[in-house]
Every structure is written in C-alpha cells, then in structure tokens.
Amino acid sequence: MSKVLQINQKYIIIIVYNEFAVDKLFGFKVIIMNLRRKYTVFVILLLTVPCIAMLVFSGLFLRDVYENIRYEQLNKCTTIIANELNNYFVQIAQNGQRLSSNEELKEYLLSGSTDVDITVDTQYYLENFVDTTDDIIHVSLYDKAGKLMPVSTNYVDADYLKVTVDTINNDVEKNYGFSNLNKYKLTQQSSDVFTYVNKIYSGDEVIGYVIQYYGLGKFEEIIKNFDGISAEEIAIIDSDGSLIREPFNKVEKYMSLALYNSAADKIERTIGGNELDNAEYSYDYEKYIMTASTVKSTQNASGASWAVVTITSEASLFGNIKTFIRTYCSVVFVIMAVVGAVGVVVVAVLTKRGQDAVNAIVDFRNGNKEARCNVPDYDHGSFCGVVNYILDNNAESEERYRAIVELTDNIVFEYNIAKDVVLFSDNFNSKFSFRAKSLRFEDSFFENATVNRKDKLEFERFVERMIENDKAQGEFSFRTIYNDYAWYIVRSVAIKNLDGKIVKIIGTMIDIDRAKRREENLLKKANFDSLTNIFNRETFEISLVNEYDLSQMRKSKVAVLFIDLDDFKYYNNNFGHALGDEVLVFVADALKSVVGSYGFPGRYGGDEFVVYYGETSGSPGAGEIAENIIEVLAKGFDAKSVDRHFEIKCSIGISYFDDMSVTAESVIKDADEAMYTVKKNGKSNYCFFNKLSRNTK
C-alpha cells in the first residue's frame, strides 16, 4: 500500500507543476497584446537614432577607427605568419630529433661503415625518411670529423657544400641548428635552400652529424596565403639579414633594399627579439607603415632570430577612405531598412503564433483538454511547439494520475489555495457520508468532518499545520458511511510556486482501522503494573511489536528508551520502601507526561522503565525526548511519606526497532546495553545503541 501511495503523490506533484507551467504561459497573453505597440516605438528608434549617430560617427571617428582596424589587421596577419613559421620550424626540429635519436644511424656511425647490411639499411632509412616527410629535399650524414657519409641521400649526384666540424657546430650553437637563407645551395636545385643540423650522440660522445635540406617553397606558400591583406610587401628575414619576398626567385640582403634599409633600426630590433608598436617611417616623401613579428622558436643564444615584416604605404591604406565612408553609410541605411522590414514581418508572424498559443492555453484551462497550437510537425522547438509539449505532458500526467488513483484504496485529496477548491478522489464517497455544500474550503471535510470527540482539538491543529507547513501527518477517528468510527492516517504535502508561497495542498487518507482496533484490544487485555499503573514487561513487549507493524503505515520510526534510576537504593535504605514506591510512581507519571500521545511507558522490573516512542518527521527526536525525561525527573517531587523534596536522576539508553528480523526483546536489550554505557561514563545522561556492535556479536 505504501508503494502505491508514493506513486500517487509523485503524479499528483507532476500534474501540479504542469499546471504551474500552463499558468506561467498564460502570462504571455499580455506580452503578445503589447508587442505591436512596443515594436512601433522600437522601429522608430531603430531607424532614426542610429542613422544620426552613424553620420556623426562617420564624420568624426571613422577614419581613426578604420586606421586602427587596418593596422590591427596587418599586425594580426604578421603574427599569424610568424606563428606559421614557428610551427614549421618546430616540425623541422622534431624531424631532426627523430633522425639524431635513430638507432640505425648510430649503429652505422659506430660500425665505421664496414658492414654492408648496416649501410644498406641506413641508406634505405634516410631515403624513406625523405620520401615520407613534407618539404624536405635531402638528408646528409657526416661522421664526427665532418666527413660526408655515402649513405646520404642522392650521394652520387648531389654536390653538397663542403662543410667542416666548425661550420656545423656554428649552426648548432649560433642558430639552434638552423642555417641562414643564402648559406647553402645544391647543384641540382634551382633555388636556395636552408638546413637544420643535429648532433648524434652515443652516450655523452658526439659520433656524427645529420643535416636536413629544405627548399624555400614553404615560405612562398605561407606568404601567398595572405595575398589579400592589402600589404605592399610581405617578407621573411633570417637572423643574418637575408630576405626572401615575392617573386621568391632569389635571396637578398635587406640592407641593400632602400624600402627596408630606411627602417633598418626597427628591423634590427625585431631580429633581436623585440616586437614593434605602430612602426612608421618615411621614404621618398611617402609615409610607410610597417608591422613586424619575431619568429621566436629560432631565437639563438646571441639574441638574433628570424622575423616576418609587412609594409604598406599610408596612401594605399587611406586612399579610398572617403569612398569607404560614403559606401559604409549607404550600406548602413540599407541594412537598417531591411532589418526594420524583416523585423515587422517576423514580429507579425511571432505575434500570430503567440496568439494561437494563448488561445490554446485559455481553452485548455477552460476544460478543453484537446486544445493545441497548429504548428508543423518539424516545428517542435518553437514557442507553440513548447506550449503543445507542456499541454500534452499535462494531459498525459492527468490521465496517469486518474488511473493510479482508481487503482488504490487510499483516498487522495487536493486543496487549491488560490482557487479555494477542495477535491477528493471518488472512493471518498464510498467510505464517508459527508457531502460538502460547495468546493470551498469552509464547506469541506476538513472544516466539517465528524471526528471522535477525543481527537477533535488535535484534528483542528492538524488542519492548521497542513495549510502552513511543508508536510503534516496525524491519526484520527472519523465517522464513516456506516455511522461508526474508523481510524485514518491523514498525510499532506505542500506545493509551492516559484516565489516559495504555498499554493496547493495534496495528500492521502490511509485506512488503519484494523490495526488500531487490534491495538485497542491489546490495551484492554493488557496487564498493568499494580504500583505505577503502566504496562508491565510482557504487555509492553507485545504492544511494542504491534506498534512496529503500525509504523510501516504511519511512516514513523519506533524508538525504545531504557531508563534506569541512578542510586535508587538510597531512597529505600535511608527513608524506607514507602519513599521508594513514591519515587517509582512519580517516574511513571513523568514518563507518561513527557511521551504523551507519541508513545507509552512500561515498568520493566525494579527501578527499570522502558518507553515506546513513535518518531515522525514532525515530532521531536528520541534524543530530545530523553533530554526532556532527564530534565523533568531532575525537577523532582515533594514526598508525602517523609515531607521532603527529592530530585531524581536517571541513565537512558536508546535503540530503534527498524528491522523485522529483530525481536522486541532484543531491541530492549540493545537499549539496556546503551544505558549501561551511560552508567560507565558518569550516569545522568543518555546515548544511542550502536548497530555495529549488534552485528559483531
């Protein structure tokens, strides 16, 4: 039954939140109605204010803005080219690392070129490396004395520049392995090449050198990718001042070119690793703007590095600025006119869809559960599609809710605070003769139910808690359709809106009459302790088991408190048994007062008492009850037998009856064990039983 109840509550909550979504969508009605008026004002502002502002902006600021934009474009392009070169050089360096760490090359150099197989394998490796590596032309291998090895690619036909160990080491130490643009040239190559050299080590000893030869075609490819940036010159300059630019057919010294020579100090700064800020210079009475960026991955120990330089004239940059401004303003006016026209059409369409959605929502709220927006099947992501989704989901949730309510014997109720409407499931009429005059709360079952006289005040308090709190629960005896009384658990949950205000109360009424009747029969047949007039040991254990069964429907926890009076012998030995009896009666009355309707006490033997306590989400915890017992007993009582006031102290152990496999006797024993823990640690306190100790016994 509890599982069915949980499903009921789940779908009740789903449907309530779906109704919230429908109510929120209903607010769009006002938005749709005001949209055209607001858009008219918006269009006027859109077409007039920006036009005036744009004219002022174009006349006063556009030239400076255009200048900065174009300069930033040139500067960004220069940086991108430098990064492209940087990545290219990193790739070359990685290729060199692969070659210098190759075991075949090391084995070949160490073998002294005597082993034919090693020689063939090494030559095959180098040729394959060239074939599978982009842009590389040749790879040459030198021994540690600078002698060219026969395994070098194209060894017979190639005319390699004669090198020495000193020239090789100079490239390694000065340029991190890179040569300059005009240092090497192969006979069979029509253009210059540059190289990258790596030392080959065996342990800490240099056993040879490997040199990669690259053409300058990659530089041409990188520069030509940026032909559209309106720069008159794009050049790559190495650390020695050699320059390559379009048409890429020769390498030149930049100092020999007047356009670059006039900015020599700025170029030197860039080759030295320092970036430029808005570099400008004049040549032949014409002003030039230059941007430059350092290719930092090639920076060598002496501070020299390669650089990328872009140059354009101010005349070229700003020659068409007036035409640009006129064209720009014309385009702005055209765009604004088009945007305004499109905006009018779009808002008209959206307004129509929005109105369709509002009409569907209104019809749905008025009871037409088939009401939907007319949208294409593919348009589920639109506003109307979302509205249809919410309405579909709401209708589906309602159907599920109705089906589940019909399948359960529990009574389901709902109180809509905003509408002041109280509804009950159909099975309410088969169990109660009460019929409300209207759906208003003041005429509802909660205000006019016939409740057992003993429960009437508590039921009124429950109704107040139900309306004001997130959750509420109580047990009451109502008059049924058969004119007798039956026990029900009434449980409610509050539903809040987005502002945190309670707008609905939903809940269930669960029939527990059979279990309560069994409990009452047990109470009638129970044996009471003759002195304290509370349950004796046997009756308490039987009642405890019955309360555990009821707790499954009440959704409460069964707690057992074992109470032992501290130093009870003191009263009997010093004042007689009459005082001892008064103490026991006082303790029993105090326990009944503290526990109240949440449980009952029992005398377990001698000066030992036990208490059953039904702990719920809305009641104090068992620990708090134990604190109250200790506090009430500590206030003491006035003894009649000796005409004196006595303060009573006790030790309390607490355990929970939460496992069907555990007996009432063992739960009481657990509480007794927890009580002895208190005795060992100073008395007059309470503690909970540790379940782990039970499992390890």
Q: Which residues contact 275 (CB under 8 A, 6 or more apart)?
A: 292, 293, 294
**Dist CA 344 CA 336 (whole Å):** 12
Locate all alpha helices (DSSP H) within 506-617, ordered by sequence: 513-525, 537-554, 569-575, 577-595
Identify the pLDDT of residue 13: 45
**Dist CA 646 CA 579 (whole Å):** 10
Range with the poorest average pLDDT among 114-128, 351-365, 592-606, 631-645: 351-365
In SS3 terms, 154-215 reads as CCCCCCCCCCCHHHHHHHHHHHCCECCCCCECCCCCCCCEEEEEEEEEECCEEEEEEEEEEE
Between 345 and 662, name the one with better pLDDT.
662
pLDDT band for position 421 (cuts 50, 70, 90): very high
Q: Which pLDDT tens digit goes with each residue over 3-45?
A: 333 334 444 444 444 555 555 555 555 555 566 566 666 666 6
**Tokens 């109280």 sit on residue:** 422
Tokens matching residue 660: 């069907």
Tokens matching residue 487: 């026990």
What would you measure as the largest C-alpha separation in the chain, in angstroms?
131
Tokens matching residue 476: 């009451």
Q: Which residues contact 462 (CB under 8 A, 6 or more apart)?
A: 472, 474, 476, 490
Q: Which residues contact 148 (CB under 8 A, 6 or more apart)?
A: 140, 141, 142, 155, 160
Helix (H), strand (E) at residue 271:
helix 264-271
Cβ contact 491:510 at 8 Å: yes
For residues 552-578, average pLDDT: 88
Range with the poorest average pLDDT among 136-145, 195-204, 334-343, 562-571: 334-343
Identify the pLDDT of residue 607: 93
CATH number for the domain running over 515-695: 3.30.70.270
Cβ contact 172:199 at 8 Å: yes
User: CA 334 → CA 309, 348, 496, 565, distances in Å?
Assistant: 39, 21, 51, 96
Q: Which residues contact 506 (CB under 8 A, 6 or more apart)?
A: 9, 12, 13, 16, 412, 413, 414, 415, 492, 493, 495
In this predicted structure, the answer to whether residue 380 has a pLDDT above a threshold of 80 is: no
User: CA 601 → CA 452, 499, 598, 622, distances in Å?
Assistant: 24, 45, 11, 14
CATH number for the domain running over 82-212: 3.30.450.20
Tokens matching residue 290: 């230059």
**Tokens 């003993």 sit on residue:** 454
**515-695: same fold as 82-212?**
no
Q: Which pLDDT tens digit goes with each residue over 471-507?
A: 888 889 898 888 888 889 898 989 888 788 898 998 8
User: What are the respective helix, strand and coil percentages of the chain, to the nearest 5?
Assistant: 50, 20, 25
Q: Which pLDDT tens digit goes with each residue over 141-198?
A: 888 888 888 888 877 655 666 677 887 777 777 667 787 776 566 655 556 778 888 8
| DSSP secondary structure of 606-620 | TTEEEEEEEE-TTS-
Identify the pLDDT of residue 216: 80
- Which strands, in side-by-side order, build the sheet including 193-202? 136-143, 205-215, 193-202
Tokens matching residue 354: 């929005």
**Backbone dihedral angles phi then psi of residue 403, each to the nearest 5 degrees:** -65, -45
Q: Which pLDDT tens digit goes with each residue over 215-241?
A: 888 888 888 777 656 667 788 888 778
Q: Coil, strand or helix: which one is 558?
A: strand
Nearest to 622 by CA among 688, 572, 577, 538: 688
**CATH of the domain spanning 219-318, picked from 3.40.50.300, 3.30.450.20, 3.30.420.40, 3.30.70.20:** 3.30.450.20
Q: Quick check: pTM over 0.85?
A: no
Between 295 and 63, name the one with better pLDDT.
295
In this predicted structure, the answer to whether residue 1 has a pLDDT above a threshold of 50 is: no
pLDDT band for position 297 (cuts 50, 70, 90): low
**Backbone dihedral angles phi then psi of residue 496, each to the nearest 5 degrees:** -110, 155
Q: Which pLDDT tens digit goes with each residue over 500-558?
A: 889 899 888 988 888 777 766 666 555 788 899 899 988 898 888 888 777 766 677 89
For residues 323-335, average pLDDT: 67
Which sequence spans correspond to the domains of the chain?
A: 11-60+320-408, 82-212, 219-318, 414-511, 515-695
Q: Coil, strand or helix: which one is 485?
A: strand
Q: Measure CA of the first residue to CA of the last residue in the chain; give whole Å.
A: 35
Cβ contact 184:192 at 8 Å: yes
Between 571 and 454, name the one with better pLDDT.
571
Identify the pLDDT of residue 282: 61
Identify the pLDDT of residue 582: 95
**Dist CA 86 CA 84 (whole Å):** 5
Locate all alpha helices (DSSP H) within 319-427, ordered by sequence: 321-365, 383-407
What residues are paired with 668 via a beta bridge?
none
Nearest to 96 by CA among 209, 7, 221: 209
Between 90 and 691, name the one with better pLDDT.
90
Superfamily for the 414-511 domain: PAS domain (3.30.450.20)
